[in-house]
Amino acid sequence: MSESALARAAAWSRKWAVAAALTGLAVLSAVVPSPPAGASTTVSAAVHNVRDYGATGNGSTNDTPAINRAIDAAAGAGGGIVQFPAGTYRSANSIHMKSNVTIQLDGGSTILGSPDDDYDPPEPNPNDDYQDYGHSHFHNAMIWGDRLTDIAFVGSGTIDGGGHLITGNPGSGEADKIISLTRCQGLTVNGIRLRRGGHFAMLTNACDDITSDGLRIDTAGDRDGWNVINARNVTIRNANIAANDDALAFKSDWALGRTYDNGNVTVTDTRLSAVCCNALMFGSETCGDFTGYRFERISINGSNKSGLGMVSMDGTVISDVHYKDITMTNVRGAIMQKVGTRRRCGDSPGVGRIHDITYENVTSSGQSGANFTATLWGESAAGNRIRDVTFTNVHLTVPGGNGCMGTGVPSNDPNNYNPVSIGTRPAYGWYVRNAHDIRFVDSSVRFASNDCRPAVIANTGSTVTFDRFTAGRGSSSPHDLGFQSITGYCVRDSRNTGGGALRTSATGGSTQSCAPGGGQTLEAENATISQGVVESNHAGFSGTGFVNYTNVAGGYVEFAITAAQAGTVPVTLRFANGTTANRPMDIAVNGAVAGDEVAFPPTGAWPNWQTVTVNVPLNAGANTLRATATGAAGGPNLDRIDVG
């Protein structure tokens, strides 16, 4: 058999060994269709029971030497399963992971940390200055491995630091993490539980091709849950991570002396909480670029910093990141994006940027006490701003309760990534600075207690758009939406929580990119109808139907229009007239006729829809537009109006 065929057969056999561990079977024998050439069709996964190598599982004897012997035997045989039957295996020394080895923790099994302080010392690292000590050293851990391939941790058992792992910088013989892996290819973490992890329950750096299903981490009394650093091709499903510091963080540091690209990551159906810090986070270590991330069906309960945090502090470009179906409760800052200028990497990086980010179906509520306003904060240089961010069906409820304050730009420490690095924002809901092409669609922000600040302030940028946006209005707030030096802002079909028009303020040369009431589409079937019925018996209408006027003079359909500011705008009425005679109507705005007996001529048949446009004056805020039939035959069938 050729060397390449042998390699394919070996890899195929190792995958079936992992499958054996996932099923909890000691030996898996299966007939598999179409194996690689030269591979046997009957596979027996080599299982190495740690008790056969001298482990006691009695909770008091140091079982590390036996565990390492079992791992060495499995690796020496070309790969296999190291099985931990039910029992407590005290580990007073570092366990050395090897390639092609699966750690299988059976139900009732626990690997337990020890107070004996005899773990491996931290290896020297010339790159210490570029990240925190805990990120810079990997050997001072309960379990560590470097340059490994095809490794796994599976089963329903537990690895528990036992309260003996250090949350700061460890001294001689002390460990500060449970699992520490560097430069690995092919990692599976399924079903196991990590408890009391010290600084990190799990730290992976430069590990690609990671899959995890059903991982549980409970380290809320210690620090970080899982730091996924310098990683590509990651799939995480059904995780439950409760941390004190960051729960699930994606980072890229200089600990290994170079930058790495990061991306092609999916996280789904996962629950996160963070007592003091961030629940789902990019950074703060951000040396390599990040692109291609999908977060869906995530539940976050508790975060004293950001629920969904994203910072570019060290020159990274973060792009193509998408959040969908995210529920947050009790998070102090729901969403934060920031570009900073720390530049703490060994390749003298410039300043980064953030772009092409979407949030869809996101809710945040339940926070008590002070909160951090949701923030997008780019740097001032054109190439370092935040761009192309869309919020669709994003609804935030914040505590509120602030008094009045100025609307000037708050202070900022560009070297600090935390939400507190920016001073109190002058808006209670959203503060957007140095950002372009920002869109809010079908979204809202509300407060639990009256707040004197505006709901939103956008400062310095362009093309900031609000479509069907709802905001709570403070009883003493100067306005609802403030645009400061924004080229091309647009507010369409948006209201306060009481149904009134949103008040806008435009300063610093801000300009509109839509007509005062532009962009609104209002369906006739949802308007006020005096004499007429809603029908749907003629094809081609929009919405759920159209209005068939009663055949009398004076029947009307009245629409409510909200305008961001006063001005004259075109209003286009879509209609059908299947008769052979004109059916004129008066078009009145706020009680004054703007179009006298406007013609609505025959369209040839009732399913044939045409449009008529009338220029009308609108006031800032709420307006009414009434289309009244002036002839005994009534008006045409009216489908909708388009404003602007």
Are the CB atoms for 414 and 341 separated by under 8 Å? Answer: yes
197 close to 161: Cβ distance less than 8 angstroms:
yes
Range(s) within the chain of domains with CATH label 2.60.120.260: 520-643
Q: Where in the chain do CATH 2.160.20.10 domains reside?
A: 46-512
Digit-coded pLDDT (tens) for 235-268: 999 999 999 999 999 999 999 999 999 999 999 9
Q: 58-94: buried (b, 16+ CB within 10 Å) or exposed (e) per residue?
A: eeeebbbebbbbbbbbbbeeebbbbbbbebbbbbbbb
Rg (CA), the chain: 31
**Dihedral sign from CA coordinates of 187, 229, 305, 292:** negative
Q: Give the model confidence (pLDDT) of 534-592 as tens digits.
A: 999 999 998 899 999 999 999 999 999 888 778 888 899 999 999 999 999 999 999 99
Give me the CATH topology for the region 46-512.
Pectate Lyase C-like (2.160.20)
Which of 130, 336, 372, 353 lies closest to 253, judged by CA? 130
Average pLDDT over residues 491-511: 90
pLDDT in tens, 70-113: 999 999 999 999 999 999 999 999 999 999 999 999 999 999 99
CATH second-level architecture of 520-643? Sandwich (2.60)
Per-residue confidence (pLDDT) for residue 519, from 0 to 100: 63
Average per-residue pLDDT for the chain: 92
Q: Indicate the pLDDT class of residue 518, thresholds 50, 70 and 90.
A: low
- Under a CB-based contact definition with an 8 Å cutoff, are residues 103 and 152 in contact? yes
Residue 416 clears pLDDT 70, i.e. is over it? yes
Average pLDDT over residues 213-231: 98
| DSSP one-letter code for 358 | E
**How far apart are the C-alpha atoms of 303 and 319, rounded to whole Å?**
24
The per-residue DSSP string of 195-242 comes to E--TTEEEEEES-EEEEEES-EEEETTSSEEEEEES-EEEEEES-EEE
Distance CA 137, CA 297 (A): 34
Residue 10 is predicted with a pLDDT of: 47
Rounded Cα distance between 531 and 554, Å, is: 8
Whether 272 shows a pLDDT value over 60: the answer reads: yes
Taking Cα atoms as reference points, which of 516, 530, 483, 499 lies closest to residue 626? 530
Q: Check residue 515 and give its pLDDT.
A: 65
The pair of three-digit structure tokens given for residue 208, joined into one six-digit string: 């690609």
Buried b (16+ CB within 10 A) or exposed e, 446-461: bbbebbbbbbbbbbbb
